[in-house]
Amino acid sequence: MKPLPWRAVFGYGAGDAANNVAFMTTTMFLLVYYTDVAGISAAAAGTLLGLVRIFDAFADVFAGRVVDGAKVTRWGKFRPFILFGSIPLLILAFLNFHVPQIGESGMLIYAYLAYAAMGLAYSLVNIPYGSMAGAMTQRDGDRAKLASARVVGATLVSAALGALVSPMIVPGPGLQNIFTRVLLILIVIGFVLYMFCFFSTKERVHRPVARVSLRDSMKSVSSNKPLLLLMASSVFFLSAYLCLNTVQIYYVRDVLEQPTLFPLIAGGQMILTLIMVVAMPKLVTAFGKKKLYIVFSALVVLGVRGHDVIGRGRDA
C-alpha cells in the first residue's frame, strides 16, 4: 500500500479541528452563556451539563452501532457521516447559544433538548471520523501521522478559542450579539474544514465487521478487568479535563481578574501540546505507555491543586 499523501493527512487533521469547533466551543462557553446571557442559574446549568454528559455515553453506544451497521458506499463507509452530519451538528451548536426567553421551565427544556441533540449529532460525526483512520491506511507510520494531525487540529482550534474568543466574553448587555457573531463565523469555518476533510481523504481499506449483539458486547467488557480500569480512568480524566475547560473562563475572568491571560494560557497549551506530539513516540519507547500515563495523570492532579491554592490565596 502506498504512503498517504500529505493532503490526506492535513485533511484528516482538519476533520478534528472541525469537530472541536462545535465541541470545544460548547465546552468552554456554554455554561457562561447559560448564566450570563440566558439567565439560567449556575446550579441548574451545571446539572444540565452533567446529566446530558451521561446521556452522551448512551448516544456514543447508539452511534457506534449505527456506524458498524452502515453499508460501504461510493464515498466509503465513514465519510458520508461527515458529509451529511456536519451541517446538523454545526446548526445545533449555534442553537445552543440561542435559548429563547420562554419562561424558566421552557428555557430549561429547550436547553436540555438542544444540548442532547448536539451531543447525539456529535457522536454520529466523531465516531465514524475516528474510525476512518483505520480505513485510510494499514501502514503504522501513516496511522501515527493521522493521530498527530488529529491532535494538532484539535489543539489549534482550542488555542484559537482561548486566545481570540475568551477575552470577548465579558458580562454586559451585548454578550448575546457577541455569541451570535462568533457562532456564525465558527459555523462557516467548521463547514469549510469538514468539506476539506471529506474531499481530501479516501477510504482505501474495507473490512467486513461482524455483527455482535449489545448483550454480548457488555458481557465481554464486564469480564475484562484491565479494560474496565482503563475505562474508569478515562472517565475521571475526561471529566476533569472538561470541567477545567468549562470553568477556566470564570477562573481567569472572575477570580484572577486577568482576562489578558487568556492568550498566554492558550498559547502555552498549544506550544506544549505540539512539543508533546513530537516527543511522545520517543517517550513511549523509553518508558512505556503505562508509566507515562501515571506520571502525566499525577501532573494533572498537581495542576488542579495548584489552581486551587492560587484561588484561595487571592481570597485570603
**pLDDT tens digits along 33-58:** 999 999 999 999 999 999 998 899 88
With respect to residue 1, please indicate whether it lies within any of the assigned structural domains: no
Task: Supply φ then ψ for residue 257, to 5 degrees.
Answer: 55, 45
Q: Which domain holds residue 293?
A: 6-315
User: Percentage of residues in the chain with pLDDT exceeding 90?
Assistant: 49
- Please list, in sequence order, all residues whose beta carbon lies within 8 angstroms of the beta carbon of residue 165, skipping any fewer than 6 positions away: 25, 28, 29, 182
List the grid coordinates of 264: 498566554
- Please list, in sequence order, all residues whose beta carbon lies within 8 angstroms of the beta carbon of residue 18, skipping any fewer than 6 positions away: 86, 190, 191, 193, 194, 197
44 vs 22: CA distance, rounded Å: 22
Residue with the bigger pLDDT between 14 and 3: it is 14
With respect to residue 115, please indicate whether it lies within any of the assigned structural domains: yes
With respect to residue 167, please indicate whether it lies within any of the assigned structural domains: yes
Cβ atoms of residues 76 and 135 within 8 Å: yes
67 vs 132: CA distance, rounded Å: 11
- CA nearest to 87, candidates 162, 190, 174, 203: 190
pTM of the full predicted structure? Answer: 0.86
Band the pLDDT of 198: cuts 50, 70, 90: very high
User: Percentage of residues in the chain with pLDDT exceeding 70?
Assistant: 93
With respect to residue 91, please indicate whether it lies within any of the assigned structural domains: yes
The pLDDT, as a whole number, for residue 241 is 78
Cα→Cα distances 29→49, 125, 166, 210, 240, Å: 12, 21, 8, 40, 16
pLDDT one-digit tens code per residue, 89-147: 999 999 999 999 999 999 999 999 999 999 999 999 999 999 999 999 988 888 888 98
With respect to residue 287, please indicate whether it lies within any of the assigned structural domains: yes
259 vs 26: CA distance, rounded Å: 19
Cα→Cα distances 124→60, 127, 227, Å: 8, 6, 24
Residue with the bigger pLDDT between 309 and 69: it is 69
Cβ atoms of residues 44 and 160 within 8 Å: no
Q: What one-character-per-residue DSSP string does the chain give?
A: -PPPPHHHHHHHHHHHHHHHHHHHHHHHHHHHHIIIII---HHHHHHHHHHHHHHHHHHHHHHHHHHHTPPPBTTBSSHHHHHHHHHHHHHHHHHHT----S-HHHHHHHHHHHHHHHHHHHHHHHHHHHHHHHHH---HHHHHHHHHHHHHHHHHHHHHIIIIIGGG--SSTTHHHHHHHHHHHHHHHHHHHHHHHHHH-------------HHHHHHHHHT-HHHHHHHHHHHHHHHHHHHHHHHHHHIIIIIS--TTHHHHHHHHHHHHHHHHHHHHHHHHHHH-HHHHHHHHHHHHHHHHHHHHHHHHHHH-
- Please list, in sequence order, all residues whose beta carbon lies within 8 angstroms of the beta carbon of residue 221, skipping any fewer than 6 positions away: 227, 228, 231
The one-letter amino acid code at 176 reads: Q
Is residue 203 over pLDDT 60?
yes
Terminal Cα distance for the chain, rounded: 63
The pLDDT, as a whole number, for residue 245 is 82
- CA nearest to 82, candidates 32, 114, 134, 126: 126
Domain count, the chain: 1
How many residues does this entry show for the chain? Answer: 316
Residue 102, beta-bridge partner list: none
